[in-house]
Every structure is written in C-alpha cells, then in structure tokens.
Structure 1
Amino acid sequence: MSDEKHTVRFEPVGIEIDVDEDETILDAAFRQGVMLMHGCKEGQCSACKSFLLDGDAQMHQYSTFALNDYEKDEGFVLLCRAHAYSDLEVELLNYDEDMIRSGLPVVTTAAEIVAIEELSRDITRLVLRLVDPGSLRFYPGQYLDIHIPGHDKHRSFSLASIPSPDGRLEFIIKRYPGGLFAGLLESGLAAGDQLQLTGPYGTFTLRASSERPLLFAAGGAGMAPILALLRQMAESGNERPVRFYYGARTEADLICGSELAELGAELPGLTFLPCLSDSWPDHWDPATTGFVHNVVGRHEEDLAACDVYLCGPPPMIDAALELLESRGVSSEQIFYDKFTTTADTESPANT
C-alpha cells in the first residue's frame, strides 16, 4: 500500500477510519471491520452512494446509471470507486448503524469443492467446504468473492447456507452464456478442487430488531440469500410470518422445492408463492402468472406493514422498488440485493 494515509469520518454516525490512497474508501472500511452499505463493489448499483462534505476524493471508472454527471457535480460519490487524497468528511445516505458496527473482518481463505449440481437449465448449486472451518465468519444473506483459477479475476456469489461447524458453504449460481466462471462450472471444475474465497460482503441480512411480517421476493439465483435467511429463521425459531414470492420463466425453472418444503415444516408462518412469467401449465394458478412484482402487487394489500427483502436482477429490483414506493413503504423497511453481472465472455471485446 501507499505511504499516504488519510482519515475519513462518516456522518451522522461519527465513525472514523484510516484510508490509504491506493485503496477505495469501501475497501478500507472492510479492512477495519466497518460494514458500510454496499452491493456490487464495482460502481454499478449505487448502494454505496454517499455525499462528500469536505476533502478531496477522486473516483475511478463507474457506471453513470449508478451515479450520473449531475450527482457527481453536486458532490455525490460511490465509496466503492472513491479514493481519498486528503482527510475527508462523508455523509452516509443509506446506512444501518447496527450493521456498520457489527462488521466482520474480510479474509481470504481456501475451500474444497464438495459437489456441483445442475438445478435447472441455467442454474447450478456449488457446495464447498472450508479447508480451515474457523477461517471465515459471515452472516446469513452475505456473499463471497470466488477467485477464478488461472485468472486475476473473481466473481461474487451469495451464500445459500448458514454458518456451520464443518465449514460447509452452498451457492446457487446462474450460468450466463460465455461466462468465465460458468464455463468452469460446466467443464473445468470437479469435486476435490480448491478455490480461493474472499469475504464476507453484503448487508442483505435479517434485521432482528423488527417484528413486522416479512415479504421476500426473488428471481433466478436470488433464491440463494433468501434460502439463507429462511434457514436462519428455522434454526433460531423465528416465528415472524413470511411470504416468499419467487419468479421464474417456466415451471422447469423452479428450483429448491424440497428445501422449501422442509423449511415450511419448520416455519409454520412461511407461505411460498412461485410465479411464472413466460409459460405455465394448465394446472397453474392464474393469479401467480406474470413478473414477480406484478404478482406481489395483486396479492399484497398492505405492503407498508411489512419488511421487504428483494433479491434478483436489476430490472426486477427496480420494478419492485417502484411498486413499493407507490404503496407507501418506507425505505427503512426495504432491503435489496441487486445482482449485477460482469461482462466476462470469452470474446476479446468483452474481456
């Protein structure tokens, strides 16, 4: 790291960290166990958007969808892309003080592949076991970076599992055509191989301080963190009522049915509503056809009474957020994990 270090103070929580000039502010926070709100860590999702009150910060490449030019000129910054070149004072716009102060250290560790299982035509279950089971701590709903063997790249995947003494980790991963990691899942990785992991990251965790009913909505590989939260609830005996809407294209794309059935037996307050958007069999309930946010809108009369957890691709999240805003749901009751993708095809134009 560079010898040039600066102090960043976060308001209104009054927390200070030391930041090296060649690391992002978000990475410096991770290093010091301060868990700021974040999502993709790549300047695409805006979850870490904050306001620079004082000091000199410069940003590396980011998407203007996450931070447009007007916002940048006004003083907004993305902490995952911002470097400090003086002492800074930063106003956090999206934060949970309890989460900030309960951060776990980000570590890099090794895990061995236990199983690779195809769940649907484009979704795979990857099961790992930590070589040193005590080397990694995480909260259900968080994600890890998996380093791609033979490359200096990584891919981020949410955990579907909860912490266990044997260090078992489970991921549910969507395979994209031409994807660098997807290709290895299809042919290249096998049981017994080792992978390097870094984490934990993410703030998509169950807020224990609330007793409101829960509404979960997910699509595709967004099943993973929701499964983790449900498993956490089952293990802890959490009796909050929860309705889980899961969106898929066709009946063949529905996954984790047996796991959800087992959880339903342990969680009497769980209602699972699968939704199909593209085609559905004759026996399918017409009320659960269409995009998942539309199904939620038809079924839920009092969304403002719930804590809402959303996980899936950006179009699904954006449509759901628009629905929730129109129904008067407070932003403090909404938690989401937006699954952005990386252009990682083998085409030279995308590498």
Structure 2
Amino acid sequence: MACAAISVGFTIPQLLRGTSRIFPTHSALVVLRHSAFCHCTVNGTTKSKRKMDHLERTANNFRQEMISQAKVCGITNESETVKRLRLAITNKDFTFKAGQWVDFFIPGVSVVGGFSICSSPGLLERDGILELAVKRAVHPPAHWIHTECTLDSEVALRVGGDFFFDPQPGDPPVKLVLIAGGVGINPLFSILLHVADLHEYQESKGYGYKMGTVKLYYSAKNTNELLFKKNILGLMNAFPGKITCHFHVTQQSSQICKEFQPYVTEGRISEEDLEKHVSKYTLWYICGPPPMIESISKLLANIGVPRDCVFFEKWW
C-alpha cells in the first residue's frame, strides 16, 4: 500500500514531540476488533476532485500510540519500479499484526507516508526487522525512498490499520483465500508469511493455532510486476498442499519463463477460479485498486460468500 499523504509542516523531531497535534487520541479512534479477523473498508470516492491523503483516509483506523525510530539496513530492487526496504526497529516493544501498515516519518520531509508492511510479525520478533516494498511515485515519501534513501538512513514508524489476520491458539481453524492486485500484494504477503510461521510453530511444538489451507490469487500486468514471486514459490514448496498460489497476468507481452509457467494464467481472476473455494470455513482477504476490489466483492457475493467473511482495504 502506498498512497498520497498530507503535508503537515513539521520536521521529524517536531512530529515526534507533537504527535497529538497530528493524530486523533487513542480513545477517539474507531477500533474494529470484534475478532482476530478484522477488516477496514475505506471509501474510495470523494465529492471533491482532490485525492484524500494518507492521514485523512486512515483517520478512523486504529493506530498504536508508539512511534519508534528505525534504521534502514537493507535496500533491494524487488522489480523495476519497486524497492524493498529492511528496517531495524529500535524499540523492542514495537509490534504489528500481519496485514497492517505504518505511518512513515522521514527527517526533513514534512509529508507523512503510509505503506503496508510486507514482512511477518515473526521476523520482527526474531530479528527486530520489518520490511516494506514501495513503488516509485512522485509522492514525497516514495520519491525519497527511490532517490535519497541509503543504508543507515533513519526514519520513524507508527503501526496502524484494522485489516489483519491474527488468530489465537483457541480460535477455530479457517481456510484463507488471498486475492491481490499489483502492489496490493504487500499486506497479503505479510499474512502469507505469518501463516507459514503458524504452520512451522504448530508442526515443531505440536500445539498453537492449527491453520487451514491458504490459496493466493495474485494479478499484475505481467510477470515482471509480480512481487515476491520467488518467495511465494518457495513457500509453496516448503508447505505443499497447505500453501498454493496462482498468478494472473493481464498485459503479458513476453514469453513466460518455464519456472513460472505452471502457475501463471493470462487473464483476470474469474468466478470459476474462486467458486471452488467457497465453504463456511473460508475467509477472503482482498487488497488492490478499488475497481478490482469492487469487482471481486460482487463476484464473491454472486457465488454465495457471506459479506462478513470478506475483508478488504482500499488505498488508491
């Protein structure tokens, strides 16, 4: 997730000293936590032509009170247009749930960014590391990441969001269908990695949450824009039958390499793809551009999926 953000007119030290001027108080936030499987639906339309910025879009979302310093400890090119950042988190009490996002504060940049976390909570617990994958854009925080960010750059982060998957040991087993479009894969990849951690923990300890199967449908223009594809195939190989995926490409002009051919379909995700997964034990998570979310939501309604089993988040 990356979206336009508001210019608040503060440098980072001022932001850290005066967050009460920028964010609603904790008691004023709308916290949708009726279960461990929560969702956020953000209105994708507005009466004015001005696009809503990150802070406006998320004003009613849950936000942690903690803002933590972080240092960039890794930068890689996930694709021609997306950079993947590894961030070492300073505060040991910093936590997040798979699927959530961060407010992203940059020294010297008065615009607050908003980016979905693409790593698992387990990586943070084990190594103190959080990862973001950010697409190139004129949006100031994204532009800074692509043009000025270097190893050891310092930023600050604050976790927020009501779209997450966080089952507890006593919760009933569920199956997941994750449906991603473009860079909307970020929070769903975090959920997929968290599922892998749940499987590993349950297999090694013999207890903990017993996860059902997960199917990922991921659509992009072409295979070059499918983020994390090698990681996703690695998870499939590590958890055969438990984690499966299918990639969809809508504007592929080059030949698909043999490694990915068995998993790639040319064309959009269809009703036929999804109806085979309908059951009372299945939860559906969607993240992508609003038109895709609206289309998939209508498709799921047509095949009889209850609305309270469909979770999604709109950012664009």
Please classify the TM superposition score into its range, dividing by the shorter chain length: 0.7 to 0.9
Instruction: Please give the alpha-carbon distance, in whole angstroms, between the structure 1 residues aligned to 2:181 and 2:95.
Output: 26
Residue 298 (1) aligns with residue 258 (2) = no
| Residue type of the alignment partner of 2:252 | S
CA contact (8 A) 2:63 2:158 kept: no
| Residue type of the alignment partner of 2:266 | T
Residue 148 (1) aligns with residue 106 (2) = yes
SS in 2 for 1:222: helix
Cα gap change, 1:286 to 1:112, in 2 (>3 Å): closer
Residue 318 (1) aligns with residue 290 (2) = no
Instruction: Please give the alpha-carbon distance, in whole angstroms, between the structure 2 residues aligned to 1:110 and 1:235.
Output: 26
1:167 alignment partner in structure 2: 128
2:251 alignment partner in structure 1: 278
1:328 alignment partner in structure 2: 304
- Over residues 131-166 of structure 1, what are the superposed CA-to-partner deviations in whole Å (9 max), with x where a residue is unaligned? 23x131111111111013323321111111123243
Instruction: Please give the alpha-carbon distance, in whole angstroms, between the structure 1 residues aligned to 2:57 and 2:84.
Output: 32
- Over residues 17-57 of structure 1, what are the superposed CA-to-partner deviations in whole Å (9 max), with x where a residue is unaligned? xxxxx989x933467895567758xxxx239xxxxxxxxxx
Instruction: Please give the alpha-carbon distance, in whole angstroms, between the structure 2 residues aligned to 1:318 and 1:329.
Output: 14
1:262 alignment partner in structure 2: 234
Instruction: Please give the alpha-carbon distance, in whole angstroms, between the structure 1 residues aligned to 2:146 and 2:303.
Output: 43
CA contact (8 A) 2:24 2:59 kept: no
Q: 1:244 aligns with which of 204, 208, 216?
A: 216
Could you list the runs of 5+ residues in structure 1 that have no partner in the other structure? 1-21, 48-61, 66-77, 83-99, 341-351
Residue 202 (1) aligns with residue 176 (2) = no
2:43 alignment partner in structure 1: 46
CA contact (8 A) 2:104 2:157 kept: yes
1:19 alignment partner in structure 2: none
| Residue type of the alignment partner of 2:219 | G
> Normalising to structure 2: TM-score of the pair?
0.72
SS in 2 for 1:107: coil
Q: Which has the higher contact order (CA 8 A, sep 6+)?
A: 2
RMSD (Å), alpha carbons? 3.3
Instruction: Please give the alpha-carbon distance, in whole angstroms, between the structure 2 residues aligned to 1:116 and 1:270.
Output: 27
Q: What are the within-5 Å matches in structure 2 for residues 28-67 of structure 1?
A: 28-29=25-26, 34-35=31-32, 39=40, 45-46=42-43, 63-64=46-47
| Residue type of the alignment partner of 1:275 | H
Cα gap change, 1:266 to 1:130, in 2 (>3 Å): same
Bigger radius of gyration among the two: 1
Instruction: Please give the alpha-carbon distance, in whole angstroms, between the structure 1 residues aligned to 2:243 and 2:144.
Output: 36
SS in 2 for 1:147: strand
SS in 2 for 1:316: helix
Residue 181 (1) aligns with residue 137 (2) = no
Q: 2:96 aligns with which of 138, 156, 167?
A: 138
Identity, in percent, stands at 23
Of Structure 1 and Structure 2, which has the larger fraction of its residues in strand?
Answer: 1
- Over residues 166-218 of structure 1, what are the superposed CA-to-partner deviations in whole Å (9 max), with x where a residue is unaligned? 32000122222x22122212221100010011123333224553534221110
CA contact (8 A) 2:39 2:312 kept: no
| Residue type of the alignment partner of 1:298 | E
Of Structure 1 and Structure 2, which has the larger fraction of its residues in helix?
Answer: 2
Instruction: Please give the alpha-carbon distance, in whole angstroms, between the structure 1 residues aligned to 2:102 and 2:172.
Output: 26
Instruction: Please give the alpha-carbon distance, in whole angstroms, between the structure 2 residues aligned to 1:212 and 1:286.
Output: 24
1:68 alignment partner in structure 2: none
> Normalising to structure 1: TM-score of the pair?
0.66
Cα gap change, 1:113 to 1:282, in 2 (>3 Å): closer
CA contact (8 A) 1:251 1:280 kept: no
| Residue type of the alignment partner of 2:152 | G
- Over residues 69-115 of structure 1, what are the superposed CA-to-partner deviations in whole Å (9 max), with x where a residue is unaligned? xxxxxxxxx99668xxxxxxxxxxxxxxxxx9xx8843111000012
2:186 alignment partner in structure 1: 224
Moved more, 222-231 or 279-288: 279-288
